Amino acid sequence: MFDARDDLTLEELLLPSQVDSAIALLSRLCGTDVKLLHEPNSKATAVEFNLEIVAWLGGDLPEQQRMAAAKLMETLLFHAGKYRLAANLHHNATEANYEQLKQQHAALQASEARYRALSESLQERVDSQIAVIRDSQQKLYESARLRAVGQLAAGMAHEINTPVGFIASNLRTAQEYLSEIEEAIKGEPSPHEVLEDFQCLLTECLDGAARITNIIKDIRAFANIDQTDYRVFDLNDLVRTSVQLVTSELQPCSPITLELAPLPKLPGHPARVGQAIYNAVNNALRALSDDGEVVVTTRLVDEMVEITISDNGHGMGEEILSRAFEPFFTTRDVGVGAGLGLSVVRDVAMDHQGQVLLTSQEGQGSRLVLLLPIARASI
């Protein structure tokens, strides 16, 4: 690439016309015809460029004169050669630079293409990772529900313990009483008071048993292990159960007021609707300050059942409101909320061909309206 030949031929040094005019001038100077030859003869003198013979100058003239003519020709060639060599070198160096630039350019393009490909596949990989994360979040949420059921079961056990406790204790007392009765019957004919008390104990026991039954029913309604269960259900019952579960998890004295109008039964997935109500009420409770209130109302509007959950909590700004139904959007601290609560409400409403409306004003509170059709349109 850098090869610059420095042994130039006569043709490379001068143009034929330049050679001709030089020879014509030399001939005139010498007073006789001289010419440049390719082969030496007895009347010719070597003409050199860079120690290389490029031609012979021949002519019928004295040797001294011929040598002077040859020397003059050499001087001419020397200066022509100087220019030619510099030009060749410059040309080569420029070519080499250009070549190098082209290579750098190609390398740059190749690397740019590599990065572009990488960034494209990166986007794909990020997208698929996001899908995986969403999926696992969803599963996590499901498992959180199961955990909630577990907690519920723990609470249930606690609740059951008390009635079971006094049932056992009362039964022990009853046993003692019974033995006392036996003692007394031996002597006195009518053990009136003891029998009466015995009657009360039994009533209490029955009452305790009834409470246990009810609690278990509540739990089963909420946990509703058969998720796919599609049936006709009483929405007011579901609201009561859900609210009870939320509050039992939170405070001892409930800030929730229920205003439930008589409703017809409606078809759907009670477990899912229960979950939606639970989520909405839970959200409302979390927005409350100390003396806040939540009002849950149900009523019939045309062919729809309307459940309204309103609170006088901190409310939401425009931006948060516009994103409230987005999956994974949460204003709670990392790890506290999955950001799925309201998105589940919306999903449930859509599953039941219903609607969900959310209005809120910062500092004033929020109001969530869930509308569910009484008769489900055939699909």
Partner 1 sequence: MSKISLKVVYYGPAMSGKTTNLLQLHGQLNPQRKGEVMIMETRDDRTLFFDMLPIGFKREQEIDLRIKLYTVPGQVEHDSTRKAVLSRADGIIFVADSQLSQQENNAISFENLADNLLKVGLDIEKIPLTIQFNKRDLGRIVSEETLEGRWLNTPWWPLTLSSALKGQGTAETFEQLLQRLYPAVDREHALSSRHGITQKTFLEHLTQSSDY
User: Of 68 and 174, which has the nearer Cβ to partner 1?
Assistant: 68
Span 295-334, contacts to partner 1 by CB under 8 A: none
In the numeric block, which tokens belong to residue 97? 């630079």
Could you tell me which residues come within 8 angstroms of residue 172 by beta carbon, excluding any fewer than 6 positions away?
none
Within positions 93 to 152, which residues make up the interface with partner 1, using CB under 8 A? 93-94, 96-97
Under 8 Å between Cβ of 352 and 376: yes
Mark residues 62-101: x for contact with partner 1 by CB under 8 A, - for none. ----------------x--xx--xx--xx-xxx-xx----
Size of residue set near partner 1 by CB under 8 A: 22
Toward partner 1, which CB reaches closer, 93 or 350?
93
E strand or H helix at 189: none
**Choice between 5 and 158, CB closer to partner 1:** 5
Whichever of 52 and 142 has its CB closer to partner 1, that residue is 52
Residue with tokens 């204003």: 331
By CB atoms closer than 10 A (0-12, 13-18, 19+), residue 147 is exposed
* Minimum separation from the CB atom of position 30 to partner 1 (A): 23
CA-to-CA distance for 312 and 287, rounded, in angstroms? 8
CB of 3 to partner 1, least distance (A): 6
Closest among 296, 300, 327, 316 to 359, alpha carbons compared:
316
Site string for partner 1, 7-46 (x = CB under 8 A): x---------------------------------------
- Tell me, what DSSP letter sits at residue 365? E
For partner 1, the closer of residues 50 and 361 by Cβ is 50
Query: 97 vs 129, which CB is nearer to partner 1?
Result: 97
Give dist(CA 370, CA 149) in Å, integer.
24
Is 161 among the residues that bind partner 1 (CB under 8 A)? no
Stretch of 4-12, 134-142, 241-249, 315-323 contacting partner 1, by CB under 8 A: 4-12
Nearer to partner 1, 2 or 253 (CB): 2
Residue type, 86: A
Nearest in space to 28 (alpha carbons), one of 69, 79, 71: 69
Tokens, residue 299: 């009523």
Q: Give Cα 238 to chain centroid, integer Å.
A: 36
Residue 171 DSSP SS3: helix
How big is the chain by its Cα radius of gyration, in Å? 53
Nearer to partner 1, 3 or 302 (CB): 3
Smallest gap from residue 107 Cβ to partner 1 (A): 16
Using CB under 8 A, pick the residue from 9, 18, 50, 361 that binds partner 1.
50
> Which residue ranges make up the site for partner 1 (CB under 8 A)?
1-4, 6-7, 48, 50-52, 78, 81-82, 85-86, 89-90, 92-94, 96-97
